[in-house]
Amino acid sequence: MRIAIFGAGGIGGYLGGRLSQAGEEVVLIARGEHLQAIKEHGLRVDSIKGDFVATPALATDNPTEAGPVDAVILGVKAWQVLDAAKAMRPMIGPETFVVPMQNGVEATAQLASVLGEKSVVVGLGGLVSYIVGPGHILHAGGEPYVSFGESDNSTSERTQNLLEAFKNAGVTANIPANIQAALWAKLALMAVNSGIGAITRVPTGQWRSVAGSWKMAQQVAQEVLAVAAGKGIVMPSDSLASAVARLEASAPNSTSSMQRDLMEGRFSELEVQTGAVVRLGLEAGVPTPVNTFIYNSLLPQEMNARGEFPEQES
């Protein structure tokens, strides 16, 4: 397959590197020093599953140079999805489909609003991976995985072909029977780890060991699953128990990217994680009191990072 990675950062760079290493024709869309380093030396990936250097078929910052591809793996931050959708138009042919890897549950609809529903599937993935220098990705933890599927859960040749490409590359991949349920199950975990982590400002093991914050964590997950049901998503009956079990099993020293971004004064994905739970809950008429409290508590930090407060006179 000819596969474009739009946003060759932590998850996109890792997946693109593995696919390229396995012989797929990979186009990396990157920019700046990161792009230049990839052009000169290839993409270096240091991974807990084995280090490697991948040489993509093409590395560019110009989607027009890339031309139409079979699939686009979208690896940009969630707030960049709409801009990315517009920029990738030269790569979208009649049979091209885009697989979003963003956190939250709204990327597919955002992409479809620009590219059309036929050109987009539902996707999610995960691993602890980030850029540590130009042309250099560090995969520091987590078993890399991707899940994707047609929005209506139908079987398609195009998703089967991509599934085989990922499997050949040694990446754990699957097409769930209900991709929407899988997406919301991930949001239940992300909203907990990000929201509780950001508001307590301590690693997972510490907030998990305090009865009050652990109870809040479970309430966050319950609210997310209630919103999913309110939006018509049929979730497995054991969704809450599964979420709790995964939270209990997570590494005690872990922190979420949203938590780290907020603590370090950077833009975060507050709006697409906790904010989305609150917003979609209002749309569905489902109360989300704990998520609402967390969102309103963190929003001033997010606004400050984005420069949305007027400058105060000293």
pLDDT recorded at residue 15: 95
**Do 172 and 195 share a domain, yes or no?**
no
pLDDT beyond 70 at 225: yes
Q: pLDDT tier at 178 (50, 70, 90 boundaries)?
A: very high
The CATH code of the domain that includes 207 is: 1.10.1040.10
Domain boundary among 177, 192, 226: 177
Tens of pLDDT, residues 36-84: 999 999 999 998 888 899 999 999 999 999 999 999 999 998 889 999 9
Residue 314 confidence (pLDDT) above 60: no
313 located within any domain: no
Q: Is residue 156 part of a domain?
A: yes
Question: What mean pLDDT comes out for the span 239-249?
Answer: 94
Q: Are residues 130 and 242 in the same domain?
A: no
pLDDT tens digits for range 123-153 = 999 887 888 899 999 988 778 899 999 999 9
Q: Are residues 156 and 26 in the same domain?
A: yes
Residues 125 and 37 in one domain: yes
What digits encode the pLDDT tens for the residues 97-127? Answer: 999 999 999 999 999 999 999 999 999 998 8
Same domain, 8 and 150: yes
Residue 296 lies in a domain: yes
Residues 26 and 106 in one domain: yes
* Whether residues 146 and 20 fall in one domain: yes
Say if residue 91 is in the same domain as residue 157. Answer: yes
The span from the CA of 123 to the CA of 183, in Å, is: 8
Who wins on pLDDT, 311 or 70? 70
* In a domain? residue 314: no
Q: Looking at residue 313, what is its pLDDT? A: 52
**Residue 144 and residue 67 share a domain:** yes
**275 pLDDT more than 70:** yes
Residues 120 and 267 in one domain: no
Residue where a domain stops, chosen among 177, 195, 218: 177
Number of compact structural domains in the chain: 2
| First-last CA distance in the chain | 59
Q: 143-182 burial, b for 16+ CB within 10 Å, e for fewer? A: ebebbbbbeeeeeeeebeebbebbeebebebebbeebbbb
Structural domain including 296 reads 180-305
Among 149, 177, 205, which residue terminates a domain?
177
Q: Do residues 22 and 167 lie in contact, with contact meaning Cβ atoms separated by under 8 Å? A: no
DSSP bridge pairs for 72:
4, 98
Which tops the pLDDT comparison, 23 or 130?
A: 23
For the cut 60, the answer to whether the pLDDT of residue 288 exceeds it is yes
Exposed, middle or buried: residue 263 (CB in 10 Å: 0-12, 13-18, 19+)? Answer: middle
